[in-house]
Amino acid sequence: MTDTTPTGQADPTPIADLLAWARWLTHAGATADPAQRVAYLAAKAELLARIADQHAHHHPCHADTARQIAADARAIADHAVALLPAPTKDTQ
């Protein structure tokens, strides 16, 4: 999946959206829902992977590093999912 504008340039909207989400989580502080934090981490990992894939042919020497960063972000998101409290009868 490639996010581009009609001119073929990379669309900055997904990055801006992710930064807005990060800002919202920061302002929410301890009141932010842990599931929202986990969803943010997963979205961040997905965006990093897409960016790495989109730019791999332009910067092949950095492609492996970018993909590793994306994989590390995915591992962090997956670990965060495992730390979420189990749903209770009230939350199901």
pLDDT along the chain (92 residues), means of 10: 56 93 96 93 91 82 86 92 80 56
The answer to whether the CB of 50 falls within 8 A of the CB of 21 is no
87: number of Cβ within 10 Å: 9
**Side chain identity at residue 72, one-letter code:** D
Query: Looking at residue 1, what is its pLDDT?
Result: 45
Query: Looking at residue 27, what is its pLDDT?
Result: 96
Residue 71 included in any domain: yes
Residue 53 included in any domain: yes
Residue 8 included in any domain: no
pTM for the model: 0.75
Domain count across the chain: 1
Residue 10 included in any domain: no
Query: Looking at residue 25, what is its pLDDT?
Result: 96
For residue 63, what are the domain limits? 34-83
Residue 43 included in any domain: yes
Distance CA(80)–CA(57), nearest Å, equals 32
Query: Looking at residue 55, what is its pLDDT?
Result: 78
